[in-house]
Amino acid sequence: MNLTRLGVKYISDALKDMKENGLVLGRVALVHKRMYRVFTGHGEWLAEMSGRLRFEAESSGDYPAVGDWVYMRPREGEQKGTIVDIVPRFSQFSRKAAGDPTVEQITAANVNTVFLVSALNQDFNMRRMERYLLLAWESGANPVIVLSKADIEGRIEERVRQAESVALGVPIHVISTHEGMGMNELRRYIREGETVALLGSSGVGKSTIINFFLKEDRQAVQAVREGDDKGRHTTTHRELFMLPDGGNVIDTPGMRALELWESEEGFRESFADIEQLAKSCKFSDCRHDQEPGCAVQTAILEGSLDRHRLQSYVKLKKELEYLARKKINGR
């Protein structure tokens, strides 16, 4: 395997002298019950964490995640190793672990671009798109909106306009994997050494996109249910794939619930339109409700801002404030 194709250039400043320490550098492709499949210059290895690394981990975010670069101490005569260190991440997509507001779950690490995939059928949901955008901006990767299943939906222009209203300055691509529509445009993001993570709810076509670029049916695909267009969870784990034409993609399971994690910077990026309007409010502590001189409410009355977007802004802001309080209290 070629470490250049895996994107080693993005961590070159953090590399150790592997020869002197007798370590092997690799990238985590799959995590399963504390066992790791790692791509190295010597092929695929199986690895586990060292006792020291496990002991020093303060949270699940300190464990290796899919996309991480790791150093391993090789086992004599085997394609196996012990992970002794994790190279600092230049990006990571995190969300709150289900059921615990103080635990971070890393979905993908060291990602250059995040494809936020939303089907153009009944799955289309702008409020969910806002949540994905918020976390994508916070991750350090570049978000791209991918509107899939264009071959079965007739309201494409309307959906694109709706996406544009919340994805300010974010590229939007309409695709159909069955017809090949828009796939060449997506391919430009997955150049050699680049990594793209696909995120979205179940049934939006992430695995179908992966299969298209792999040029084989590697990922299982199931049809959506009739009546509500909801997909079934086919992908059950996160996995990094090397594409035959260069570049890497990370497939992720569909998320029923997208819980926010630390997202202050991402929040400002996602709601830059409202944040900018708020600077013109008469009062610096304006809640954008019924205060006089509220520039945000004026924009709503004039039709330049959707009321539902403000409601989403207020809801997500409260959610982040609640999460911050829980983390300070440690519960």
pLDDT digits (tens, 9 = 90+) for 237-274: 889 999 998 899 999 875 544 555 556 666 777 788 88
**150 marked as part of a ligand binding site:** yes
Per DSSP, 14 falls in state G
The amino acid occupying position 251 is: D
pLDDT digits (tens, 9 = 90+) for 71-98: 999 988 888 999 999 999 999 887 665 5
Q: What is the CATH number of domain 92-251?
A: 3.40.50.300
- What integer pLDDT is reported at residue 27 of this predicted model? 97
**136 marked as part of a ligand binding site:** no
**203 marked as part of a ligand binding site:** yes
Per the CB < 8 A criterion, the answer to whether 298 and 308 are in contact is no
Per the CB < 8 A criterion, the answer to whether 297 and 283 are in contact is no
Q: Does the pLDDT value for residue 58 go beyond 70?
A: yes
- What integer pLDDT is reported at residue 263 of this predicted model? 60
CATH 3.40.50.300 in the chain is located at: 92-251
Per-position DSSP letters for 257-294, written without gaps between them: -----S-HHHHHHHTHHHHHHHTTSSSTT--SSS-TT-
- What integer pLDDT is reported at residue 69 of this predicted model? 96
Round to whole Å and give the CA distance between 240 and 194.
12
**200 marked as part of a ligand binding site:** yes
Domain 8-86, architecture per CATH: Beta Barrel (2.40)
Q: Does the pLDDT value for residue 230 go beyond 80?
A: no
Q: pTM for the complete prediction?
A: 0.79
pLDDT digits (tens, 9 = 90+) for 7-55: 999 998 777 766 557 899 999 999 988 899 999 998 999 999 999 999 9
Round to whole Å and give the CA distance between 82 and 65.
15
**16 marked as part of a ligand binding site:** no
pLDDT digits (tens, 9 = 90+) for 120-176: 887 788 888 888 888 888 888 999 999 999 887 678 999 999 899 888 889 999 999
**43 marked as part of a ligand binding site:** no
Round to whole Å and give the CA distance between 313 and 84.
42
Alpha helices in 2-119, H assignment, sequence order: 18-21, 51-56
**178 marked as part of a ligand binding site:** no
Sequence-ordered list of residues with C-beta below 8 angstroms from that of 289, at least 6 positions apart, any chain: 297
**139 marked as part of a ligand binding site:** no
Per the CB < 8 A criterion, the answer to whether 251 and 214 are in contact is no
**279 marked as part of a ligand binding site:** no
**91 marked as part of a ligand binding site:** no
**284 marked as part of a ligand binding site:** no
**288 marked as part of a ligand binding site:** yes
Q: Does the pLDDT value for residue 194 go beyond 60?
A: yes
Sequence-ordered list of residues with C-beta below 8 angstroms from that of 74, at least 6 positions apart, any chain: 22, 23, 24, 80, 81
In CATH terms, the superfamily for domain 271-329 is Probable gtpase engc; domain 3 (1.10.40.50)
**318 marked as part of a ligand binding site:** no
**149 marked as part of a ligand binding site:** yes
Per the CB < 8 A criterion, the answer to whether 205 and 223 are in contact is no
